[in-house]
Amino acid sequence: MVRKGRRVVWCAVAVLALAGCGRAEVPSPPKQRPPFEGVEDLPEKLGADGTTIVVGDPDAQVEVHLYEDPRCPFCEQFETSGGGPQLRKAMLDRTATAQYTLASFLDDRVGGNGSKKAVNALRAALKEGKFVEYHEVLYLNQPEESVDGYTDASC
């Protein structure tokens, strides 16, 4: 009789141990955080490299790295009517983070210094927590590529 009792106890302990381990292995679902209400609520900061601007939830699973010149017509097309609006929505939904590396390569190719002025203005906007808003304004009002339209007055 004692032997049977020990087996029963042993089986009960084994079943409890397995049940406990099974619960420990089941990951809890990630906390669903509400989407950002607007672009003004998106976190934005200077990246660790000192040149890249990071926008969006740092816990987002998707990272998109963009290399942009504010005078580039292809960048303007992406930002206003291409993938930019979908990227903005993904940032607001907390599913993507955007990394912007800003450049001024068109100043050397077509002359002037409008790209440099626009990039500097974007960095100043970042310091004020307004990078995303100003980034949108620049692309919505982009001058022709060959025109050095970003001036001290406009930036």
Residue-wise pLDDT for 33-43, tens only, equals 899 999 999 99
Both structure tokens of 55? 């926008």
Both structure tokens of 17? 């141990």
140-150 b/e (C-beta count within 10 Å ≥ 16 → b): eebbebeebbb
Q: For the chain, which domains are there? A: 39-140 (3.40.30.10)
| Residue among 78, 72, 69, 146 at smallest CA distance from 112 | 146
Residue-wise pLDDT for 39-69, tens only, equals 999 999 999 998 999 999 999 999 999 999 9
